[in-house]
Structure 1
């Protein structure tokens, strides 16, 4: 197993654990020495993972994220306003998707976290080589929004409502688009 793959496995083990995992246990599971585990932990920390060392082993602190799906409607000219309202309120736009009566759910990842990301997205769309996904369903579409708290999601919902972007779910639309999965 290569280093990068091993570190992914290490993170997976730590994230699925309910308590600290000892270096010895990690080295046995990953078939490497404890020194390699120590080095891997250092590399993971350097790359932004919050891993604590305790007297009983390693603990991974994962940031709690909240997410909500919003159904929205707006014109092509209002795309930047919609996206800016979301990121300005503290949200991250994970994806855009539509629910088509014939084709079902059509989805595209966005990963928009800042106005800089919005500008890059708008530049890409403005080339005219592609159309906005919302246009497949006459402007109606959905975004999965991630935030650090339910309060931020509530503020985003209120901002979208005030701007007239929130849309009502129709009877034919499924409430749980992913069948319990993201």
Structure 2
């Protein structure tokens, strides 16, 4: 299989996937190295493909449905599980995490967490990776983009985060 043909097949695989697809899975599927897949993804992105890398693999994200809002929080590493569960328990998807870096400006990490299972898998990867959460760069201050079924779900998220003591003040509406 030629490189261009493989890239088209990767794009088709991602468009038809029900869940994120890891670089390792794509490498096995196309009998190439993981690094070749990473390069293919970079070339696909450069040609305009809207591919996101999530902690679980590559996805082509569907347009957000429902209400899309952001929430600002601050907590240490020990507050991450409670924070994420507070969001998914209300039926919201945690689309991403955003921090403001002094050198690079806004840094965004796609998450796509929709359930406690997703949260647990993310936390397992955090524990096994030799990396720190983006919020460590900003003394724990960060934003999350949420896709919520409605305004009531978003209000419940904010109330739960407020009770946990991690919602930044001034987010009444």
Q: TM (normalized to structure 2)?
A: 0.59
**Runs (5+) with no aligned partner, structure 1:** 9-61, 170-182
SS in 1 for 2:165: coil
What corresponds to 1:131 in structure 2? 132
What corresponds to 1:40 in structure 2? none
Report how far residue 102 of structure 1 moved. 2.9
In 1: Cα distance, 2:64 partner to 2:166 partner: 29
SS in 1 for 2:109: strand
What corresponds to 1:33 in structure 2? none
Q: Tell me if the contact between 2:96 and 2:109 (Cα under 8 Å) persists in the aligned partners.
A: yes
In 2: Cα distance, 1:77 partner to 1:113 partner: 20
Q: Does 1:92 align with 2:93?
A: yes
SS in 2 for 1:143: strand
* Structure 1 vs Structure 2 CA RMSD: 2.2
**Runs (5+) with no aligned partner, structure 2:** 1-7, 16-62
Report how far residue 168 of structure 1 moved. 4.1
In 1: Cα distance, 2:75 partner to 2:113 partner: 18
Q: Does 1:121 align with 2:125?
A: no
Q: How does 1:12-161 map to 2 (within 5 A)?
A: 64-161=65-162
In 2: Cα distance, 1:117 partner to 1:68 partner: 20
Q: Tell me if the contact between 2:92 and 2:154 (Cα under 8 Å) persists in the aligned partners.
A: yes
In 1: Cα distance, 2:65 partner to 2:129 partner: 38
Report how far residue 85 of structure 1 moved. 0.8
What corresponds to 1:166 in structure 2? 167
SS in 2 for 1:79: helix
- The size of the alignment, in residue pairs, is 112
Over alpha carbons, which structure has the higher Rg? Answer: 1
Q: In the superposition, relative to structure 1, how do residues 124 and 64 fare at CA in structure 2: closer, same or farther (>3 Å)?
A: closer
Q: TM (normalized to structure 1)?
A: 0.56
